[in-house]
Structure 1
Amino acid sequence: MSGYWAGILVILAINVIAAYSAWLPLAAGQVNLGTAGFMAVGAYAGAVLSGDYEWPVGAAIAAGAVASGLLALLVGSAVLRTRGLYLALATLAVNEVVRGILLNWDAVGGASGYPVIAHIELLPIAIAALCVFLVAAWLGASRFGMTLHAIEQDETMTGLFGVHVSRVQLAAFTIGGVMAGLAGALYAHHFSYIEAQYFTVLMSVTIVLSVVLGGVQTVWGPLVGAAFFTLLPELFRGASNWRYVLFAAGVIAIMALRPQGIVTRAALMRLRRAA
């Protein structure tokens, strides 16, 4: 495999993990625009532990994911009291607070960025993406996943059936934070250098858009959406300056034709009946 395609597959695997980190809150009707901020926490925590403290790279990556999950738990306990646009704005603010701290924190390089000594190749990143997909599929098929879907459909009615809605939403938000931290830590240890400027709100918005485009209703949606957002711009690379114009036109066309996403629950049921 050429270095070019290996690099594309690495980005795809990281984008898949990031997409599932946003999918879990979305499945419960929560729009999290702070995903990039949680990725940054995982990236920097993992990089510092593997570099300054000489932790084994696997342990450092896992610790970065846990650190991001703990931040998500702390943030979620406060911001999940809000709903809709207010929740989106609150998580967007968290993203900018994290980025602002990292930009001004000299211990991790500030605006100059931070070099990452330990390095991992495509295979462990691809395995991590597969594991995240399997975990997401298991969660989606479990009682927890059905509860998330019920909350997304009617939060009030779900609460009347004895479900502690806020705890379920917080669990989804926290697990999503762990996945985002994992994506960030993997990114840091593959590309060997991280900058706070990379983890912008635009990245968070793009991740959410990829999930919405792929479809929130099924576990396959984030995978398809991440693949679309990663691979389609590469197919248009030969179009030079028109590359992203064509990509944007493709996104608009798909959203017009498939407003519920590329993969929907009804479409999967039709495929199963046909099989």
Structure 2
Amino acid sequence: MSGYWSGILAILAINVIFAYGIFVTAAAGQLNLGGAGSMAIGAYAAAMLGDHMGWSPALTIPAATLITALVGFAIAFPVLRTRGVYMVLATFAFAQVVTGIILTQPALGGAMGLVVVEYVDLPVLLMAAGGTVVFVFWLMATRFGLAMRALHDDELVSTLMGVPARGVQVASFAIGAGLAGLAGGLYAHHFSFVEAQYFSPLLSTYVLLFVLIGGTQTAWGPLVGATFFTLVPEMLRIGGSWRYVVFGAIIVAMMIVRPEGIVTRTLLARLRWRRADAR
């Protein structure tokens, strides 16, 4: 495999993990525009643990995931007191605060960034992405996942039926943050460098689009959305600068035709019925 396609697959694997981090929160009815902040925490935690503690990626990446999940758990309480657009703004502000802290701390490399010595190869990224997909599919099939789906569909009715809305949302926010931290840790060790400028508001917007375009109703959505947003722009490179226009037109058309996302429960039900009829 060429180095070019190895790089694309590495980005795809990281994007898939990152997208599932945002999906877990969205599946519980909460939009998170601060994913880049969680990814930055995971990336810098892995880099610092490897640099100062001398840990290998086998330790730094799980530790970075845990640290980011704990930070997500802590900020979930004030953030989830907001609703709608105010929650989106609160999560966006969280990401900006994280970036500001990184830029003003010389120990974190400031605007110059940090070099990460230990390297993680593509097979590790692919295995981590596959494990994340399996984990989220399993999670959505549990009672906790059913509670998340209920809150996504109608929070008021779910609460009246006995679903502990606040507990489920806090847990989903923490799990989502942990997955974003996992993506950050893998990014740091694969590309061997981290800088605050990479974890920009544009990154948060892109990953939220992965989830919204892919669909928030099923666990297939983030996988399809991340794959679409990662591979299609590369396939459109033949069109030069016009690829951005074409890609933007495709996104607008999809939002008009499929406002609930590419993959919905109705679509999956129809596919099952067709398979049953074919038998």
Give the shorter-chain TM-score range.
Answer: over 0.9
In structure 2, distance between residues paired with 1:108 and 1:211: 30
Give the corresponding residue for 1:223: 223
In structure 1, distance between residues paired with 2:149 and 2:57: 36
Pairwise CA RMSD: 0.8
Query: SS at the partner of 1:33?
Result: coil
Give the corresponding residue for 2:190: 190
Give the corresponding residue for 2:43: 43
In structure 2, distance between residues paired with 1:205 and 1:30: 15
Query: How far apart are 1:203 and its partner, in Å?
Result: 0.6
Give the corresponding residue for 2:92: 92
In structure 1, distance between residues paired with 2:77 and 2:256: 36
Give the corresponding residue for 2:168: 168
In structure 2, distance between residues paired with 1:203 and 1:259: 22
- Answer yes or no: is 1:119 the counterpart of 2:106: no
Runs of 5+ consecutive residues of structure 1 not aligned to the other structure: none
Give the corresponding residue for 2:67: 67
Deviations 1:137-166 (A, max 9, x none): 001111111111111122122112222110
Give the corresponding residue for 2:158: 158
In structure 2, distance between residues paired with 1:86 and 1:35: 16
Query: How far apart are 1:273 and its partner, in Å?
Result: 0.9
In structure 1, distance between residues paired with 2:263 and 2:190: 31
Give the corresponding residue for 1:104: 104
Give the corresponding residue for 2:141: 141
Query: How far apart are 1:62 and its partner, in Å?
Result: 0.7
Give the corresponding residue for 1:268: 268
Query: How far apart are 1:78 and its partner, in Å?
Result: 1.2
- Answer yes or no: is 1:255 the counterpart of 2:255: yes
Query: How far apart are 1:259 and its partner, in Å?
Result: 1.1
- Answer yes or no: is 1:16 the counterpart of 2:16: yes
In structure 1, distance between residues paired with 2:195 and 2:56: 22
In structure 2, distance between residues paired with 1:60 and 1:15: 20
- Answer yes or no: is 1:179 the counterpart of 2:176: no
Deviations 1:232-258 (A, max 9, x none): 110011211112111111111111111
Which amino acid is the alignment partner of residue 17 of structure 2? I
Aligned residue pairs total 275
TM-score, with structure 2 as normaliser: 0.97
Deviations 1:94-117 (A, max 9, x none): 000000000111001100011000
Query: How far apart are 1:52 and its partner, in Å?
Result: 2.0
Query: SS at the partner of 2:240?
Result: helix
Query: How far apart are 1:58 and its partner, in Å?
Result: 1.2
Which amino acid is the alignment partner of residue 110 of structure 1? G
Deviations 1:35-75 (A, max 9, x none): 00000000000011112211021110111111111110011
Query: SS at the partner of 2:43?
Result: helix
Tell me which stretches of 4 or more aligned residues in structure 1 moved more than 2 Å. none
In structure 1, distance between residues paired with 2:12 and 2:141: 24
